[in-house]
Amino acid sequence: MSHLFPALVGGSVAERPAVRFGDRSLTYGELADAAGGLAGRLGGAGRVAVWATSSLETAVAVVAALLAGVPAVPLNPKSGEGELGHILADSRPSLVLAAAGVELPDSLRELARIDVEVSQGVGGTAANRGVPQDATEGRPAGSGAAATFREVPEDSAALVVYTSGTTGPPKGAVIPRRAIAATLDALADAWQWTGDDVLVHGLPLFHVHGLILGVLGPLRRGGSLRHLGRFSTEGVARELNDGATMLFGVPTMYHRLAEALGEDTAEDVELAKALGRARLLVSGSAALPVHDHQRITAATGRRVIERYGMTETLMNTSVRADGEPRPGTVGVPLPGVDLRLVEEDGSTIAAYDTDGVPTGATDGDHVGEIQVRGPNLFTEYLNRPDATAAAFTEDGWFRTGDMATLDADGYVRIVGRKATDLIKSGGYKIGAGEIENALLEHPAVREAAVTGEPDDDLGERIVAWVVPNSAPAPAALGPELSDHVARRLAPHKRPRVVHFLDALPRNDMGKILKRALRKTEEDQ
């Protein structure tokens, strides 16, 4: 069986930088020792929760769990009590891994805790810190990972990542080790991604994008990650001007880059130079508007490429580094991924033959649901056999819920989504139902509906429509409801706008007419 991180156990690149967060960094040797040492303490754990701050400790914790063959559940450190309570009750971790000194919320205090200690890597570069030495006399740096690596089947769970549905609380997608290896190797092929690449990003580490692509990706290649801690256009400019070769981001981040490029200042010139130097600029998690593609290309001469993925499927398609970048498309299926477009009645309208040549309706007009099959797929939703069964067709294809057309040369163009109750805001998927439920728990709320409305920066912004228990609603109730959702679920799930109504528009069956609500906002 192959190892997920050959560079970590081989020892041949022990002195190469592996991960850097701010001014703290670890070489491969140091990471292997830190994660290897921690992995040795995880044997026998069922599942481990990881307090996934944007830090070296999160990288060490997740790598350690993977070395030990123990599934990790990354937690958003800004999760509110409702969301956290649900994830803990559902995934039942036997312990939590968190950076030493970090205070955890009450619901986690009952769990056994292991502090993640990162002794090396404060300040400086690998060169001026010297070659790392393992505590054991005579043992070469990096041998810790090899010593604790536990062989587990490729189909066993590596991560459980929570993702929102249209209704109810988030579901835990169980991601097997083979899916991680398959998706990262397919991206290496599509992007010519190697150990020489230095990736920069500021993505959160509790989702597939930031964690699997953004941390495990460079580590599988033997390359380097420089994480910004939090996204900023200045951080991107600094790192790309200082040797970083690739940038990953969600469309909101590229939108902010496009805005900054238009400012006509000295920083703008620096930023344009930096982006112009990058080998690859990759956007994903939501659609990057063509206007932002164009603004970035006009200012830098570079084209952003898009890839399309999902928590349940990891990556499905991408514009290839050696292919034609075409704004508005997400490229072609990655190696190993089967993809087809399917009508409402289940008939296939377009697919690819065994040579990858598109067949069927490839006029770019016929819209069908994207269905996928391949080694990149999750295995199940934890504790949710009903939802798992519903997600697959009888012949084993995963229903993405994304609607698309196919061009004659096989490029996929996403045109919409089946469920209007799924909102993508800042690249985060958020179910309208979970926000409505949180709003209804507030004593001042009688009825609530939530929609996603177009937003230049976030793609969609969350808008709440509330019938208050006593009219008129006090002026402070809007911000209070927003805070209530942020505290209960997570800050990125908070409504950005709250409208108060006397009644919600409903049809004869009592179902809320969300289109009529949108119309109301347009009229305002």
306 touches ligand AMP by CB under 6 A:
yes
Which span (1-9, 83-91, 258-266, 306-314) binds ligand AMP, by CB under 6 A? 306-314
- Closer Cβ to ligand MCA, 229 or 301, answer by number: 229
Considering only the stretches 51-59, 140-148, 307-315, 433-441, report the one whose residues sit in contact with ligand AMP under the rule CB under 6 A. 307-315
Span from 173-181, 306-314, 355-363, 374-382 in contact with ligand MCA (CB under 6 A)? 306-314
Contact between 490 and ligand AMP by CB under 6 A: the answer reads no
| Residue 285 interacts with ligand AMP (CB under 6 A): yes or no | yes
Q: Could you tell me the sign of the dihedral formed by the alpha carbons of 421, 424, 425, 431, in that order?
A: positive
Residue of minimal CB distance from ligand AMP? 429
| The two structure tokens encoding residue 245 | 């070769």
Distances (CA, A) of 383 to 166, 172, 177, 379: 18, 8, 19, 12
Q: Does 358 bind ligand MCA (CB under 6 A)?
A: no
402 binds ligand AMP (CB under 6 A): yes
**Contact string 285-304 vs ligand MCA (x = CB under 6 A):** x-------------------
Residues near 92 by beta carbon (within 8 Å), at least 6 away in sequence: 46, 47
Q: How many CB atoms lie within 10 A of CB 114?
A: 18
Tell me the C-alpha distance between 234 and 454, whole Å.
27
Half-sphere exposure of 64 (CA within 13 A, CB side): 34
Q: Exposure of 112 by Cβ count < 10 A (0-12 exposed, 13-18 middle, 19+ buried)?
A: exposed
Strand ranges inside 321-427, DSSP E = 332-333, 338-342, 348-352, 358-360, 368-373, 380-381, 398-406, 412-417, 422-425
DSSP at 262: T
Give the residue carrying structure tokens 């016929």: 366
Report if residue 172 touches ligand MCA, rule: CB under 6 A. no
Cβ neighbours of residue 234 closer than 8 Å, sequence gap 6 or more: 267
Q: Where are the alpha helices (DSSP H) in 56-198?
A: 56-68, 81-91, 106-109, 126-129, 143-148, 177-191
Applying CB under 6 A, does 252 fall inside the site for ligand MCA?
A: yes
Residue of the chain from 17, 170, 284, 495 that contacts ligand AMP (CB under 6 A): 284
* Footprint (CB under 6 A) of ligand MCA, residues 209-238: 209-210, 230-231
Q: Which of 7, 203, 257, 350 binds ligand MCA (CB under 6 A)?
A: 203
Contacted by 204, from ligand AMP, ligand MCA, none: CB < 5 to 8 Å by type: ligand MCA
- Cα 340 from Cα 349, distance rounded (Å): 8
| Ranges within 30-49 binding ligand MCA (CB under 6 A) | none
Give least dist CB 261 to ligand AMP, A. Answer: 21
Residue 286 sits in the site that holds ligand AMP (CB under 6 A)? yes
Dihedral sign (CA 283, 284, 285, 290): positive
Q: Among 478, 473, 481, 465, which Cα is nearest to 514's?
A: 465
Member of 32, 428, 473, 498 binding ligand MCA (CB under 6 A): 428
The single residue among 47, 178, 201, 207 that binds ligand MCA, judged by CB under 6 A, is: 207
| Site for ligand AMP, rule CB under 6 A | 163, 208, 284-287, 306-311, 330, 400, 402, 414, 417, 424, 429
Residues that bind ligand MCA (CB under 6 A): 78, 203-204, 207-210, 230-231, 250, 252-253, 284-285, 309-311, 426-428, 482-483, 486, 491-492, 494
